[in-house]
Structure 1
Amino acid sequence: MKHLEKAPAKLNLGLDTPFIHADGSLEWDMVMTSIGLMDYVQIETTTTNRQLEIITDGGSLPENHHNLAYKAANVFRQTTGIQTGLSISIQKHIPVAAGLGGGSSDAAAVLRGLNQMFDTHLSLAQLGQLGLEIDADVPYCVYGKTAAVSGRGEIITPLKPLPKCWLVVAKPRVSVSTPKILALIKHEKLQHQNMAPLIQAVNHQNYLQIVANLGNTLEPVTANLYPQITILKERMLKYGADGAQMSGTGPTVFGICQQASKAKRIFNSLSGFCREVYLVRPLD
């Protein structure tokens, strides 16, 4: 059997971590959307019983148990009791260590794909619970549409699609370690974001209010280490973006525009400054 699954990148329109749990895990309060920048994950059954193989088309990802797609396949097999050997090939387009959830989306694609291939009939909520064992972003990536995300990442509240807009997504030439950034967090010193106005703006399809309520609590933390983030954000706004901010723990910055012509101008202006620049739409 063969199955091909798309694994879209995510953006954080809003991100806050209100507190840390007693077990050391973070509480999250986020608004996320998926975009038309994606990896492709092909899953194929093999005749080798229980063997699990990961193949990627780049040298920057592990092809062993450290890969989130590998972990997803293992968790799925342990939960369902399926013993079939699997070969998973990942065609990468999402930048690595970028705050775009590429690894989490690959893992989510594996969970969705295996669920279809083996007719295990697990719900998205059940797949999300499995995903939480892998990474906090995996439950959202299983769902893959605009949503509010809370708890440890497992509480997904669907929102209306974003109004028509364009997104310029740019990754500066640095890679960010998420664990390193999370270790620097001091919750009492963060400028916490209130997600309620952003959620309301999304559900009312109010583009101007969405732009006005963008926010990422972790942006100052990461930008303090990597000033390229602030420079890139300022350039996007200077070139005409209606709003701009960092996604996830960074370093990727996105600019949002209502007009395609303005987004294309920003894209062209940044192409000489950043090697990895993308002009995309929200998938909704």
Structure 2
Amino acid sequence: MLFNKPMDKTLTLTANAKINLTLDVLAKRTDGYHEVAMIMQSIDLADRLTFREQPSGIAMQTNVAGLPVDRRNLAYQAAELVKSTFQIKTGIHIELNKEIPLSAGLAGGSADAAGVLTGLNSWWKLGLTLDELCDLGAVLGSDVPFCLHGGTMLATGRGELLTPVAAMPPCYIVLAKPAASVSTAWVYRNYRPGAVEVHPDTAAMLAFLRQADLAGVAGKLANVLESVTIARHPEIGQLKAWMVQCGAMASLMSGSGPTVFGLAADREEAESIAAKLRNLSNAQIIVAKTVGGMRGENAAKIITN
């Protein structure tokens, strides 16, 4: 399969980060993964990917020093998967401009992989549906299908089985990413159900989403993996406490950590919380906003073509 395009033609898209409104671990699966139930939400913090044709192979460049641009990078793996699956002979150059912090619990790598799948589907005119893209994405990682869908979704199985739910009421998100480095695999290996004090009430969270009740949503934020990550990195618990002290409606660790987020009803309040946190902590502080919409509408989004 060969495609001819002017060598100066480019395609650029954005790939959104996510936060977890809830995260529950239900059981250890026979395949080594964990059965989970979690509600995930897209935010407008996003990486940018630009595609250009090259004669053969895959080349990547990025604005982050030390970030692998070979098979260790999930975005590169996504490009390899598309090329091998559809026997694409022409090459692709991918420029990745990262805004989502690395190893943050915000699905930055999965978002980039979703962006590559979306971008190459358009670039090579493969005509894949969103569901077909998600089947490919699930091969790469559990969060990739969600990053292809975007919006507000209930994720079950190992995270790849998605059910659309009522959109989260629009609000601002204050992110605090401490310097701690956290391995998702390590967190799940060390998860012990007996150490969890509060499990998410998924039914109640879904009800508050249907009611567009932001205060209700804030009151039901819960993540069982905090029992592992905060025990090893108590500064994450301190960030959660500071977030609320600075005015957030509620605060939670996203994913396996270490990023903590807080909810704010408007930008003014979010910026005030962020300013106070910068005086208290050396964590990276970012203000973002929730994004919603129909399936696929607010995931990896082509902005120039």
TM norm structure 1: 0.95
Distance apart, 1:257 and its partner CA: 1.4
Matches within 5 A, 1:132-147: 132-147=138-153
2:286 maps to 278
Of the three residues 168, 175, 181, the one matched with 1:169 is 175
Distance apart, 1:238 and its partner CA: 0.8
RMSD (CA atoms)? 1.4
Counterpart AA for 2:242: R
> CA contact under 8 A between 1:96 and 1:175: conserved in structure 2?
no
Counterpart AA for 1:281: K
What's the secondary structure of 2:167's corresponding residue?
coil
Q: Distance in 2 between matches of 1:30 and 1:60?
A: 32
> CA contact under 8 A between 2:199 and 2:222: conserved in structure 1?
no
Deviates more, 1:192-201 or 1:145-154: 192-201
2:239 maps to 232
> CA contact under 8 A between 2:24 and 2:200: conserved in structure 1?
yes
Q: Distance in 2 between matches of 1:213 and 1:130?
A: 33
Distance apart, 1:189 and its partner CA: 4.6
Q: Distance in 2 between matches of 1:194 and 1:60?
A: 40
Of the three residues 96, 102, 108, the one matched with 1:96 is 102
Q: Distance in 2 between matches of 1:189 and 1:276?
A: 29
Structure 1 unaligned segments of length 5 or more: list them.
Answer: none
Structure 1 residues 125 and 188 mapped into 2: Cα distance closer, same or farther (>3 Å)? farther
Matches within 5 A, 1:1-284: 1-48=9-56, 51-187=57-193, 189-190=195-196, 191-272=198-279, 273-284=281-292
> CA contact under 8 A between 1:169 and 1:277: conserved in structure 2?
yes
> CA contact under 8 A between 2:170 and 2:291: conserved in structure 1?
no
Structure 1 residues 29 and 204 mapped into 2: Cα distance closer, same or farther (>3 Å)? same
> CA contact under 8 A between 1:264 and 1:279: conserved in structure 2?
yes
> CA contact under 8 A between 1:5 and 1:110: conserved in structure 2?
no
> CA contact under 8 A between 1:9 and 1:34: conserved in structure 2?
yes
Q: Which runs of 4+ in 1 moved over 6 A?
A: none
Q: Distance in 2 between matches of 1:245 and 1:147?
A: 18
> CA contact under 8 A between 1:38 and 1:93: conserved in structure 2?
yes
> CA contact under 8 A between 2:205 and 2:216: conserved in structure 1?
yes
Structure 1 residues 228 and 84 mapped into 2: Cα distance closer, same or farther (>3 Å)? same
Deviates more, 1:133-142 or 1:269-278: 269-278
* Number of residue-to-residue matches in the alignment: 282
Residues 119-150 of structure 1, C-alpha deviation per residue, up to 9 Å, x if partnerless?
A: 21212121111111111111100112111111
Distance apart, 1:160 and its partner CA: 2.7
Distance apart, 1:188 and its partner CA: 5.4
Counterpart AA for 1:163: P
Q: Distance in 2 between matches of 1:127 and 1:150?
A: 18
Deviates more, 1:183-192 or 1:29-38: 183-192
Structure 2 unaligned segments of length 5 or more: list them.
Answer: 1-8, 293-305
Counterpart AA for 2:245: K
What's the secondary structure of 1:32's corresponding residue?
strand
> CA contact under 8 A between 1:172 and 1:251: conserved in structure 2?
yes
TM norm structure 2: 0.88
